[in-house]
Every structure is written in structure tokens, then in C-alpha cells.
Amino acid sequence: MRTSERESGIVLLVVLFFALLLVSSVATFTRRATVDAMISRNRESAARAEALARGGVRLATALILEDRLQKSQQGLALDSQRDPWFRIADAEIEAAAGATLRLHIEDSGGKLNLNALFNFDPGGALDEQTEILLHDLLEKVIDDMQIPPGEKLYDAKELAANLIDYVDADDLRQRGGAEDDYYQRQDPPYRAANRALLSVDELRLVEGFDAKLVEALHAYVTVYPYARGTGINLNTAPPHVLALLFFNDGVDLRLATESTVRAILKAREGDGLICPEGQSAEGCTPMSEIVPNANTIYPPPTTASQVFTVRAEARIGDVRRTIETVLDLTQPEDPQLLSWVVR
């Protein structure tokens, strides 16, 4: 009897063991099936979101080109805050059930083009205004960073000289010595580019520039267009960029004062525009009525841009994909992609 009871107990334990094993296997299978289904849905949603973002880039391109066509028919080439491509900024577009698209379009003139500052004559000499403007620009950005006491301080004058050395064609430092001495000591070693900047982030390679400073500069500067560089767009630049307008006030070369920036913003109120000298339009204010010696602004400001940065953000449920691209529309019939980043 006792032997039979022991055997029954062992059988029961074996049955319980296999029952638990079966339950565990079922639970594991169910969990894996659920995870695989979620991965599959997320992968599908990610693909749909990227496709929607790509469509957003095409929509942005169409908006800009349509605006270009209308203006060419009117004979007025002014990019401003009244343009459809500007007004669509960050508006949420319902693309489908559970799918949304946000577009942000920014013209290159909304920031100061660093490459427009590096105008070298045939002998390799740089416009003397460049170093002064670079110094004032860097000093302003550094001041706006509000660096806490005890943290790294930057020397704006040294940074300006280092940037010129990085871009100019020769191999000598502004203050003597070989340009590449610093760069050859880095790991891995490299050389000064001796060409136009290809991106704002490239500044991280320049002696003295670090990630924190370059991040701060992103709000103020661009590198587009690489060639045919013009200055700030007076009709689209935000206040902190308008403050980088650099001109001779009759006494000295300096950046725009707060009162000058306020005067520009006031002229842009409603549907107001700043227009080039000799060009008239309804509600248009010539820059010479705001800034004395407006013809000395360096680099010469613009009122129309050819390069645009487009950021298209698509959401499908909880999945998001963002495409940021730079479009060169110098030839509207053949738009050029200068960059394409998917996040």
C-alpha cells in the first residue's frame, strides 16, 4: 500500500512538472508572439511614417516652387513671412486616421551665411570687415550663452582668427606658424579644410570650437549657399539674427542696435515688407529709411533666397519619423538636394 502511494505521489509530481512546463511554454510562446506582432506593427508604422515624411518634403518643395512661379509672374522676388511656405510652419496636417504631418520650412536667409563672409581677392587677401564681424558675432553668441562662473571661457578674437585659418587657402596662421600644427596633434590627425564650410557642425573641427559653442551657433548661422553667398533676409530673419546686421553707422563698423532691430520688425508688421532700393511694392519700406548707410551692410542683405531647409515630421500612432533636407532651388526645374537626414 505504501509503495503504491509513493508511486502515485511520484506520478503526480511528474504530471505537475510537465503541466508547469507546458504552461510556461505557452506563456513564453504567447509573449514572443505578442512581441513579434508589436515589432511587426512598429516596423510597418515606421515605414508608413517615413513615406509620409517623404511626401511632406515633396509638399514643401511644391509650396516653394508655386510661390516662386506666382512671384515671377508678378515680377516681384521677395521671400517674406507672408508666404505660404513660411506660414505653414509647425501646422499639424491630418494625413489619415492616426497619421499626422508637421512641416517646418526655413530659408537660408533666415540666418547669417558664414560662407558669405569669406570673400578672398585674387591674391588671397580677405575683406578686412570679415574678422571684425566674426569677432562681434562670436562675442554676441558667447554672451547670449550666459556661461556660469568657473566654466570654460572663449576668446572671440582667437576663435575668429582660427576660423579664417581653417577656411583660407594658405597654410599659415593669422598670428604666425603653420595652420596644421594643432590639427596634426589630434587623434586622428587631420588638416585645415582650406575651403568653404560644408555644415555648421564642421565648426567642431576648428581649433577652439567645442560642441557647446557650435550648438549655440546653430540658431544664428548657416553655410548655405556654399557659393553666391548673400547676407541675411530682412523679411524672414528672426530678431536675434537681425541683430547680426553689420554696417558702418558713419562712425564705426558695428552690429545692429536693439532700436534698429525693432524698426525692422515694425516695418514687417502685418503684411509689411523690407524691399531693396529701387524696388517698390505695396507696404514696402526701403532699408535706407531704417538704417543709415544701408549700402554698407556686410554681407549685403537679401530679400529672396534660393536654399531652403525643410523638416518634415510624420507620426503614425506612437511612431515618429523626421526627415530634414536642404533644397537648392536655384534652378526650379531641377531642384538639388544638398543633404538628407532621416531620424
pLDDT band at 218 (very low <50, low <70, confident <90, very high): very high
Q: Give the per-residue pLDDT at 104.
A: 93
Q: Which residue has the higher pLDDT, 176 or 61?
A: 61
Mean pLDDT confidence for 107-127: 87
Mean pLDDT confidence for 112-124: 86
Q: Which residue has the higher pLDDT, 225 or 120?
A: 225
- Dihedral, 51, 57, 61, 64 alpha carbons, nearest 10: 140
For the chain, what is the mean pLDDT?
86
All 3 cell numbers of residue 133? 564681424
All 3 cell numbers of residue 50? 517615413
Helix (H) or strand (E) holding 212, with range, is helix 211-217
Mean pLDDT confidence for 139-153: 86
pLDDT band at 330 (very low <50, low <70, confident <90, very high): confident
**pLDDT of 227 higher than 80:** no
**pLDDT of 172 higher than 80:** yes
Model confidence pLDDT, tens digit, residues 264-281? 999 998 888 888 766 666
Q: Give the per-residue pLDDT at 304.
A: 86
Helix (H) or strand (E) holding 36, with range, is helix 2-74
Structural domain spans, the chain: 2-109+306-342, 117-219
Q: Is 117-219 in CATH node 1.10.40.60?
A: yes
Residue-wise over 99-110: b if at least 16 C-beta within 10 A, else e?
A: bbbbbbbbbbbb
- CA-to-CA distance for 243 and 259, rounded, in angstroms? 10
CA distances from 180 to 125, 134, 158, 196 (A): 19, 21, 16, 17
pLDDT band at 313 (very low <50, low <70, confident <90, very high): very high
Burial class (CB in 10 A: 0-12, 13-18, 19+), 33: exposed
Q: Name residues whose C-beta falls within 8 Å of residue 168's C-beta, 6 or more positions apart in sequence.
A: 118, 120, 124, 126, 194
Model confidence pLDDT, tens digit, residues 233-268? 999 999 999 999 999 988 889 999 999 999 999 999
**pLDDT of 232 higher than 60:** yes
CA angle 332–338–342, rounded 5-degree value: 115
Q: pLDDT over 70 for what percent of the chain?
A: 85
Q: Which residue has the higher pLDDT, 175 or 215?
A: 215
Q: Which of 41-50, 209-218, 271-280 has the lowest mean pLDDT?
A: 271-280
Stated pTM of the model = 0.84
- Dihedral, 22, 28, 32, 35 alpha carbons, nearest 10: 130
Q: Name residues whose C-beta falls within 8 Å of residue 211's C-beta, 6 or more positions apart in sequence.
A: 204
DSSP string, 254-308: EEPPHHHHHHHHHHTSTT-EEE-TT---TTEEEGGGTSTTGGG-BSPPBS--SEE
Q: pLDDT over 90 for what percent of the chain?
A: 51
Q: Give the per-residue pLDDT at 161.
A: 94
Architecture per CATH, 2-109+306-342: 2-Layer Sandwich (3.30)
Q: Which of 34-43, 48-57, 232-241, 331-340 has the lowest mean pLDDT?
A: 34-43
- CA-to-CA distance for 188 and 171, rounded, in angstroms? 19
Q: Give the per-residue pLDDT at 24.
A: 66
Q: Which of 54-68, 106-120, 141-155, 319-333 has the lowest mean pLDDT?
A: 141-155
Look up cell 568653404; give the residue.
196
Q: Name residues whose C-beta falls within 8 Å of residue 91's C-beta, 6 or more positions apart in sequence.
A: 102, 103
All 3 cell numbers of residue 47? 515605414
Mean pLDDT confidence for 183-190: 94
Q: What is the DSSP letter of 240?
A: H
DSSP string, 146-183: -PPTTSPP--HHHHHHHHHHHHSSSSB-TTSSBTHHHH
Model confidence pLDDT, tens digit, residues 285-311? 888 899 888 889 999 998 888 899 999
Half-sphere exposure of 130 (CA within 13 A, CB side): 22
Residue type, 341: V
Model confidence pLDDT, tens digit, residues 70-95? 887 777 678 888 898 998 887 788 87
Q: Give the per-residue pLDDT at 93.
A: 87
- CA-to-CA distance for 232 and 220, rounded, in angstroms? 10
